[in-house]
Copies of this chain bind each other. A is one copy, B any other.
Amino acid sequence: MCRFTLYLGPPVRLSSLLTEPQHSLIHQSYHSRERAEPLNGDGFGVGWFAPRLTWEPAVYHDVSPAWNNRNLKSIAKVVTSPCILAHVRAATPGSEVNLANCHPFQYGAYLLMHNGHIGGFRKVRRRLLEELTEEAFDVVRGSTDTEHLFALFVDEIVRHGCPIHMPPKRGGESVTDGPITDPPLELANRLHAAVRRVMRLVEEHGEDAPSMLNVAVSDGVHAAVCRFSDSPDGKPESLYFRQGEVYEPAGRMFEESRRGDEEGEAYLVSSERLTDDPGWGAVPPNHMVVLSRNTEARVLAMTEDGLVAPE
């Protein structure tokens, strides 16, 4: 079922998420606390942005577990980034473990990762593909439900535009429905629309199977992370949010310090809390966290009419 962590804020080292905290993502790869099965050893992936060099993120995937990967630990010490998406995978039984099936998935400037599953995916897959534009259809390389959800997200971008970083991976026109006044919300709307489309497809074809959709997307400047489940009885997968000044993780508690001349809040959205720091709060079920380097964070409710501020 996977675990993930997203960071957005002043640049920090990848190790601040992956190795240094007491309950780092690598720790979660073998000792996850909030899943029935503690193990997430079916591969991992890290995506990060280097905006001073390029709009395009880098992605590092491997099918071996995170806990014994020397490359990952080595790279994490020397790479800093203002936007990091890291994921450790627990493959749905029957789903192949290979490089095509690692998160985060990438399209142009966009990264997406997911914890959960699409209900009745095998029945849904074909119908989902049929709805896609040519450009979004072309995105799919593997066989995971996540990648197909990602294709829907890309489809939404192709149809309705995207906040910044216009060059899609393979050129082609992107249609914008009008001037973008609220870029992070725009990004969040695309994710929300993709989730709603998946839920409609599941309802029509998925034979009532429940879905769990904790999904994170980012373009390096804006990010949206949702905590969604369609089962009124079942608990959605865990998701936590933390914001504050720049962090230097140290043992059990984050130290807060302001770094150099990098301004702005630092945000973390994570399947499990990386530290015991009391600053972590649970994201409410069926809500989406909407983030940007230079605006305030928002937590909006995911309704059938779109994203709305909670009561």
Contact = CB atoms under 8 A, between A and B. Distances in A.
Interface in A45-90: 48-50, 53-54, 56-65, 67-68, 70-71, 74-75, 77-80
A71 B44 CA distance: 12
A80 B140 CA distance: 31
Residue among A65, A75, A98 with the highest chain B CB neighbour number at 10 A: A98
Interface in A132-167: 134, 137-138, 140-143
A41 to B, nearest CB: 5
A191 interface: no
A78 B50 contact: yes
A201 interface: no
A134 to B, nearest CB: 7
Nearest to A52: B80
A134 B126 contact: yes
Nearest to A61: B71
A140 B96 CA distance: 12
Contact of A91 (B57, B60, B68, B98): B68
Contacts of A213: none
A298 B53 CA distance: 33
Contacts of A78: 48-50, 53-54, 56-58
B59 A74 contact: yes
A40 to B, nearest CB: 11
Contacts of A242: none
Nearest to A74: B58
B54 A77 contact: yes
15 contacts: A39-B41, A53-B77, A54-B77, A58-B78, A59-B74, A60-B71, A61-B70, A62-B71, A68-B91, A79-B79, A98-B142, A100-B143, A122-B138, A126-B129, A126-B134
Interface of A: 13, 30, 39, 41-42, 48-50, 53-54, 56-65, 67-68, 70-71, 74-75, 77-80, 91, 96-101, 122, 126, 129-130, 134, 137-138, 140-143
When A and B form their complex, which 4 residue pairs have the shortest distance between CB atoms, in order from nearest?
Answer: A98-B99, A50-B78, A58-B78, A141-B143
